[in-house]
Chains A and B, each alone.
Chain A
Amino acid sequence: MEQFFATLGGGVGILGDPMLWLLLIPGALLGVTVGALPGIGATVAYGLVLPFTILMEPTSAVAFLLSIAVGNQFGNSIPAILIGLPGSPATILTVADGFALHKRGETGLALGIAYIAALGGQAISILFFIALVVPLSGLTYVFLAPELFSLYFIGMVSIISLTGKNIPKGIIAATFGLMIGVVGLDPVTLSPRFDFGIRELRNGFDPEPVVIGILAVSELFRQARQSFQWSEISGALVTRFPPFSAIRRCIPSMIVGTVTGTFVGAIPGAGSAPAAMISYQQSRMMSRHPEEFGKGSIEGIAANEAAQNAANSGELIPTLGLGLPVSGTAVLLLSALTIQGMVPGPSLTRNSPELLDAAVAGLLGGTIALLLIGWWLSKAMMQIVRVNRSIVIVVCLAIVMLGIYAMSRQISDVLVCLGFGVIGYFMSRYGYSVAAAGLAAILSAEFERTLRQGLNLFDNDPLLFFGRPITATVMVVSLAILVYGAVRIRRDRRLSGAERTAAQRDALFGRSE
């Protein structure tokens, strides 16, 4: 408890420096703005500002980068709600509910709930972060390869079960994502696989161009099939802040999202996407209105947004507690520290305890900055729907390509991004979940490595591997989620079949009422 208050006090103390606010407010502003650009996430924003952190103190650099992450998670939900484009993989389910609300003219309700949930999830998860970061370092001895494998598995199964209308197609999509990760060097023996002698494929695909291509570029291509203005489908923009009754209804979902986001975000490779998916699923199971999920549920948005922001804090637990980066942004955060002469590893915060204070300051300061400017900024971003839709699609596509180029300075990465954008276009048109493919592509190497190294660790005995209590529990829950998804899809099909029959009957005989 003493350590908890010491770290919290240290973070608040750093916030007393007015000069730091000159970094935190622009950081949050940049995060929201970059997040609002579809397809350009925190990784790109980090990649772009990383060179500037050389000029900063390590604590200022950490606080600045984290304020970007805080703003970015909320910013990602803005295009998801306003134009139906996921700003990041984690906001895919925000698209389902937020865009549906926007099309019904309830934009303010969707954005307001996203804003409140992002703030709440972020603020509460900071307390979880402080409480867990030190004790978690002891978990290195408990979370071995089997547990990690099962957590990756449940992440993929959740997304297959939740985002598709056809389970075999979902499994194929996830397998495609795993296949993308297989290209390059085998993670255990370093044998080359599927590189066909092409030098650029020797180290495999970089995850950012692949995921942005599959998720964002494919969506832009799909949207390019039609020429119309958003104002035609948006109706009037209602920017009124949601009433307290709506916020109160969402509180349980926010709590679920915050807890799930913090813990799942802390899992290496998991990050905000599976955190959002799992908390969405849990929230749906708890809800009195599960039928609204995917069609404009404010509880769904709340769970999703709280989980995404809480995952920011969760990601920092292994990143700073163990020196183990668990996501692309965490890798870049550690890169910033390496530039400052620090050595990533389990002794990182032991040698530099001020980094924990800086992380708390960055998360807390980013949240306060978001509280001050976030709602105003999101309303300003609402003007995007008044802009010519064709211009937005083309400019977004051009910025995504430029962002990919800016990350690696390689045209080949832009071509990879576009190639996967084309594949994703056909996948999304024919019901192969692009979300499952994107997530599997990110997790593929670790998924395989934990399975193989884990089996090796347990004398190649699957019973020992899968029989560990946490692993067995998570695998059983995963299979239950898969079965639940199959039953749900079957039920929805029957329902839509019945609706079709009723519509045909109405067309033939007129409505009975």
Chain B
Amino acid sequence: MDKRIDLFIAGIVVLFGCFVLVQSFGIRPTGPVVDKIGPRGFPVVIGTVFIVGGLAVMFGRLRNWSAETGNMIEPDGEPDEPGVPASGPQAWILMTLAFLYALSLTQLGYFIATPLFVGGALAVMRVRSAATLVGAAVVYTVITYLVFGTMMGVRLPLGPLAGLFGTAQ
């Protein structure tokens, strides 16, 4: 874990707490407030806990800053599998592809967007065999369509192929 990023995230928590606190004071009750805490009480406490908690994490990190040599320190979170190279960008690209898939599902339709996503994501995950890429993408798309679309009756968006497959549902 990079202690600089840990400190940065704690700073984000403090800023987020300030944002929540400011927004909380802008909450206007829509009717008569029947309880002492009111609709803004809980968010105010939440914002305060964010600020105090974030500052506590920052203080703890800064207190040990010089004692911990180098920027990489023992992780508080889930460590990567030891002995295997890890790549943050690989995960970020997969996240981006997942968002693109969700956003394009309605326009492209299930039969176009899904194999593109599965094939693309597998390529990002360093699957290099073309047969595996195409096979997995096609098999997944067909099976999930049969299970969700046909057996379970979920109306999956078909995009430009709606005319071709629309009657199948």
Binding site for B on A (CB under 8 A): 48, 51, 164-166, 168-169, 171-172, 175-176, 178-179, 182, 186, 188-194, 221-222, 224-228, 232-233, 388, 390-391, 393-395, 397-399, 401-402, 405-406, 409, 411, 414-415, 418, 421-422, 425-432, 448, 451-453, 455-456, 460, 496
What 1/0 flags go to B27-48 for Cβ under 8 Å of A?
1111111111111111100100
Instruction: Please measure, in the bound complex, the distance between the C-alpha atom of A421 and the C-alpha atom of B56, giving whole angstroms.
Output: 25
Q: Does B162 contact A (CB under 8 A)?
A: no
Instruction: Please measure, in the bound complex, the distance between the C-alpha atom of A48 and the C-alpha atom of B46, giving whole angstroms.
Output: 36
Instruction: Please measure, in the bound complex, the distance between the C-alpha atom of A221 and the C-alpha atom of B13, giving whole angstroms.
Output: 22
Instruction: Please measure, in the bound complex, the distance between the C-alpha atom of A189 and the C-alpha atom of B136, giving whole angstroms.
Output: 51
Binding site for A on B (CB under 8 A): 1, 5-6, 9, 13, 20, 23, 27-43, 46, 49-50, 53-54, 56-57, 60, 74-78, 80-81, 84-88, 90-91, 94-95, 98-99, 101-103, 105-106, 114, 117-118, 121-122, 124-127, 132, 136, 140, 144, 148, 152-156
**Contact partners of B42 in chain A: CB under 8 A:** 178, 182, 448, 451-452
> Which of B5, B60, B84, B102 is A415 in contact with, Cβ under 8 Å?
B102
Question: Are A227 and B90 within 8 A (Cβ)?
Answer: yes
**Contact partners of B126 in chain A: CB under 8 A:** 227, 390
Sort A-B residue pairs by CB-CB distance and give the 10 closest, nearest first.
A431-B76, A390-B125, A186-B39, A431-B77, A191-B39, A172-B53, A168-B56, A394-B121, A460-B36, A227-B126
The closest CB in chain A to the CB of B9 belongs to A430
**Contact partners of A171 in chain B: CB under 8 A:** 49, 53
Question: Are B77 and A432 within 8 A (Cβ)?
Answer: yes
With A169-B57, A402-B148 known to touch, is A455 a contact of B30 (CB < 8 Å)?
no
**Contact partners of B38 in chain A: CB under 8 A:** 189
Question: Are A172 and B50 within 8 A (Cβ)?
Answer: yes
> Which of B35, B53, B118, B124 is A455 in contact with, Cβ under 8 Å?
B35
Instruction: Please measure, in the bound complex, the distance between the C-alpha atom of A456 and the C-alpha atom of B36, giving whole angstroms.
Output: 7
Q: Please, could you name 5 A-B residue pairs with CB atoms under 8 Å apart, sorted by A?
A: A168-B57, A186-B27, A452-B37, A455-B37, A460-B35
Question: Are A226 and B80 within 8 A (Cβ)?
Answer: yes
Question: Are A182 and B43 within 8 A (Cβ)?
Answer: yes
The closest CB in chain B to the CB of A188 belongs to B35
Instruction: Please measure, in the bound complex, the distance between the C-alpha atom of A165 and the C-alpha atom of B75, giving whole angstroms.
Output: 9
The closest CB in chain B to the CB of A448 belongs to B42
Question: Are B94 and A172 within 8 A (Cβ)?
Answer: no
Question: Are B37 and A418 within 8 A (Cβ)?
Answer: no
Instruction: Please measure, in the bound complex, the distance between the C-alpha atom of A232 and the C-alpha atom of B84, giving whole angstroms.
Output: 10
Question: Are B60 and A428 within 8 A (Cβ)?
Answer: no
Question: Are A193 and B27 within 8 A (Cβ)?
Answer: yes
The closest CB in chain B to the CB of A496 belongs to B74
With A225-B80, A227-B90 known to touch, is A194 a contact of B50 (CB < 8 Å)?
no
Instruction: Please measure, in the bound complex, the distance between the C-alpha atom of A418 and the C-alpha atom of B87, giving whole angstroms.
Output: 19
Question: Are A228 and B121 within 8 A (Cβ)?
Answer: no
> Which of A191, A224, A406, A415 is B94 in contact with, Cβ under 8 Å?
A224
**Contact partners of A411 in chain B: CB under 8 A:** 102-103, 105-106
The closest CB in chain B to the CB of A176 belongs to B50
Q: How far is the CB of B143 from chain A (nearest CB, A)?
A: 10
With A48-B152, A227-B126, A409-B155 known to touch, is A394 a contact of B118 (CB < 8 Å)?
yes
**Contact partners of B6 in chain A: CB under 8 A:** 430-431
Question: Are B35 and A452 within 8 A (Cβ)?
Answer: yes
Question: Are A226 and B127 within 8 A (Cβ)?
Answer: no
Counting chain A CB atoms within 10 Å of each CB, the highest count among B27, B39, B121 belongs to B39
**Contact partners of B127 in chain A: CB under 8 A:** 388, 390-391
Instruction: Please measure, in the bound complex, the distance between the C-alpha atom of A409 and the C-alpha atom of B152, giving whole angstroms.
Output: 13
Question: Are B39 and A225 within 8 A (Cβ)?
Answer: no
